[in-house]
Chain A
Amino acid sequence: MTQTTTERYRVKPIRQSRREWPFPLNLYQTAVGRKWVMALTGIGLLGFVLIHMIGNLHVYEGPAKMHEYAESLRNLGSGILPRSLILWLLRLGLMVMFALHLHSAITLKEMSRKSSLNASFQGGEKKYEGGREYIAANYASRTMRWTGPIIALFLFYHLADLTWGWWLGDDFVPGDPYHNLYSSLSRIPVAIFYVVANMALAWHIFHGAWSMFQSLGINNPKYNHLRKGFAASFAGLILLGNLSFPIMTQANLIDEDERLCQVNDLASNDEILACLTKQLEDH
């Protein structure tokens, strides 16, 4: 069979397989394997987003509880390990997952682009002259590579805003997340930006949390009908929780009027934190 066909003109592959890396790194060399990585890191990120959202609900318990929650994150495992070690390991894991997720997304998209170059290409998508009515692909699935970067940009802004305090200046009080959150989200443009970015995140999750099942081959006719519902509920839950923070701040349900440890009354950051700790102990 092969003898008769090798003589024939053959379409040349657009990419040749490279020398194989040792297992398990070789999985990342293949598109299907890389999609597994994208899905697994996606799950990790979903876990983070969920815990992050739930954790932040402490803000509704007031400044002292929020401070306590932030401290408890730093104190994870501190009975046996140095303080903040676990937190830093978690952060490191997140960074690695994020980097892998991004790299696999970008390279696989590039692979698809290279495979479609002879079609007219508009906005990074294969187009036909006769128009293109998508039947199955929904808006979320076609905008993954826009919602993704919006999330990445937002993430950078968000860290600079509430972790490093770049934009709050003197108003930034390390260790008092309630105050920082209030100061940041009480500015209308910032609140709008948070709302928009979290809508992008929810869009991304709406497709991603379904798509990952297919990528990982989790497919069982008994449960398949639940997968899209799961993705939609997950996205909805994250959206609801995360949008509540800017909205409640704007609606003055998160505010500092009745705060016991008023930031402006206290001279130094240490005094503020001491006041918050005392407030906790008094309870």
Chain B
Amino acid sequence: MSETITVNLKIWRQEGPNTKGSFEKYTQQITTEASFLEMIDLLNEELNNQGLEPVAIESDCREGICGTCGVMINGQAHGPRKATTTCQLHMREFSDGDEIVIEPFRAVSFPVIRDLVVDRSPFDQIIESGGYISVNTGAASDANLTPVPKEAADQAFDAAACIGCGACVAACPNSAAQLFTSAKLAHMASLPQGQAERWKRTESMVGTMEEFFGSCTNHGECHEACPKEINLDFIAFMNRDYMKAKVKNRALSGQR
């Protein structure tokens, strides 16, 4: 059942990283079958027609897997629907006459590039500092050459679901990046292929994370905001591994 609703938008506009931004108000008519980004597309088309600057918002896959589209919608990262990215959100979540406040993810290390687009490259720096894992290249090895326990594979898969969208940082009252970092760490640390560099990787990725982000106080807001519902257990896993990494005698790291 589609219907057409009118929403009152309050959108953060900011010309560049160094200019001051402010909220602008728009009204938009939209069918409830449209996605949230389609609603913004229509708004932008109208702005274009009027010779005004369209609202800058990032998106790529529009199917919830690339992690570029995150914005705060009414104070919630990726909007009101649980386990859903902004691009997967539909206008049927809203009612006629609703005010929708759209603003960029906030954290000092996520500087605004323009309007709703923020620079999430500190996440890339965390990943970079993780370095490499030792797998042989060349012809693909036999599929079942390295046995992986089912549970470990499941856990690694759960962690690997993180799309690096930054909602966890945005939702966190401390702007801490623990959920993202711990998901990336657990992804590797759960698998046999990730063992060789496990302790070094944990130390350096946590180190880089702390250069950019705040300190976790276990509120749990990140998990609620996360479109992939990454579990808080990974944060505990990271805290444990980090301490082990610091205490470990690397020459003995074969002895787990």
- Interface of A toward B, CB cutoff 8 Å: 1-2, 5, 10-11, 13-17, 23, 26-27, 30-36, 108-109, 111-119, 125-126, 128-137, 141-142, 144, 207, 210-211, 213-219, 221, 224
Which among A26, A129, A224 is the interface contact of B103 at CB below 8 angstroms? A129
B239 within 8 A of A: yes
Q: Which residues of chain B have C-beta atoms less than 8 A from A137's C-beta?
A: 173, 219-221
Chain-A contact segment, one of B36-44, B85-93, B120-128, B136-144:
B120-128
Query: B25 on the interface (CB 8 Å rule)?
Result: no
Residues of B within 8 A of A (CB): 10, 12, 23, 72-76, 100-103, 106-109, 111-112, 119, 121-122, 124-125, 128, 172-176, 206-208, 210-221, 223-225, 232-233, 235-243, 246
Q: A11-B122, A130-B103, A141-B218 in contact; A115/B176 too (CB < 8 A)?
A: yes
Q: Are B219 and A115 in contact (CB under 8 A)?
A: no
In the complex, chain B residues whose CB is within 8 Å of the CB of A216 = 236, 239-240
Residue of B100, B207, B236 near A214 (CB, 8 A) is: B236
B239 touching A119 by the CB < 8 A rule?
no
- Cα–Cα distance between A131 and B122 once the two chains are bound (Å): 26
With A and B bound together, what is the CA distance between A141 and B174 in angstroms? 12
Which chain A positions have C-beta within 8 A of B75? 128-133
Dominant secondary structure at the B interface: mixed
CA distance A109 to B214 in the complex (A): 8
Residue of B nearest to A124 (CB): B173
Q: Which residues of A contact B72 (CB under 8 A)?
A: 128, 130
Check A115 against B107 for contact (C-beta < 8 Å): yes
Q: Which of A112, A133, A207, A211 has the most CB of B within 10 A?
A: A112
Q: Are A217 and B243 in contact (CB under 8 A)?
A: yes
Whether A142 pairs with B219 at a CB distance below 8 angstroms is yes
Q: How far is the CA of A131 from the CA of B10 in the complex (A)?
A: 12
| Top 5 closest pairs, chain A to chain B, by CB | A217-B240, A130-B101, A112-B214, A219-B236, A136-B220
Residues of the B chain whose Cβ atoms lie less than 8 Å from the Cβ of A108: 215, 217
